[in-house]
Amino acid sequence: MIEIIIIIIFASKITQLLCLCRFEWKNFSSLCAIDINPDSLRTYKHNFPDAQIICDDIQKIDPKDLRLSLGLKKQQLSAIIGGPPCQGFSRNVPAGYRYLNDPQNLLYITYIKFVREFKPKYVVIENVPEILNAYQGIVKNEITKLLEYMGYKVTIMSLNAAFYGVPQTRKRAFFVGCLYGNEIETPKQTHYGNVKNLNITNYQLSIDNTLKPLVTVREAISDLPPLEAGDEYPKKKYPQKANSAYQKLLRNNSKTLVNHVARKLSPVQMSRARSLKEGQDARDLPENLAPKILQSCQ
């Protein structure tokens, strides 16, 4: 039996799409997606053609009107997933530009209004890990309190996508609420390794030898033809066979390579790329090449 899931996407984040794919594998179905970015919704609709999409400011949508238009009773919905904007919490934004009463920061309250109206079995809120400590923990405590007041058992976790088979060190915080009072267990790690030094990979084998090594960028994209900045690969067959299990997974038996586009870079961006060695990031750039926003955060 396929259950129902509604997705409320605030900031055009790919995280929700990945999360939804996991729900699809577990016999959930996407019912509705909301975003203010039309490009994001076009992508979403392509991947989930049966879902209703709404391109609008989430604050302008009445939760009750939406519930009735979808033909749902309270507590009939399986889950609501959302990722309120993270700019007001992220360390990538200079402290002087972050403040608690930023209207974007308060969109989690709008999200909670939808939870209150639909009363789904499960609630998932995703954001940057800094939200857990930002502004002396005020936002974390408020989200937890509001969900608990509605009867949800709330589990808070901070996860790194690299330890779950994604070739990227993306850390995210999750608030997971269960209406029936059961605490949600943190997903078991599936991959092991040192994200800063891939040569150090054996330290966790003694704990669990079923874990797989981290998926590297090479394993993810080495089958793609090289492009110059600003170039686009014409839609045609892959020029070579998949080189890794991860590439085979992503191809999903597809024979045609699409959306292979190299972003056009400015001279300073090219200099930054050439300056970085394997394993480095923007924090390793020399001062004359470091982005101003990064200099402000130091």
Please say whether the beta carbons of 125 and 111 come within 8 A. yes
Q: What is the pLDDT of residue 7?
A: 66
Q: What is the DSSP letter of 232?
A: B
pTM of the complete model beyond 0.75: yes
Q: Residues with Cβ < 8 Å from 228, sequence gap 6 or more?
A: 262
Q: How confident is the model at residue 89 (pLDDT cuts 50, 70, 90)?
A: low
| Helix or strand holding residue 7 (H, E) | strand 3-8
Catalytic residue among 32, 86, 178, 297: 86
Domains of the chain: 3-178 (3.40.50.150), 267-297 (no CATH)
Higher pLDDT, 185 or 94: 185
How deeply is 76 buried, as exposed, middle or buried, from its count of CB atoms within 10 A (0-12, 13-18, 19+)? middle
Banded pLDDT at 94 (limits 50, 70, 90): low
Is pLDDT of 88 > 70? no
pLDDT surpasses 80 at 14: no
The token pair that represents 285 in the structure block: 């750039």
Residue 224, classified by CB atoms within 10 Å of its CB into exposed (0-12), middle (13-18) or buried (19+), is middle
What is the average pLDDT across 256-272? 91
Whether 297 is catalytic is: no
What pLDDT sits at residue 210?
82
Higher pLDDT, 295 or 285: 285
Average pLDDT over residues 96-100: 55
The C-alpha atoms of residue 170 and residue 234 are separated, in whole angstroms, by 30
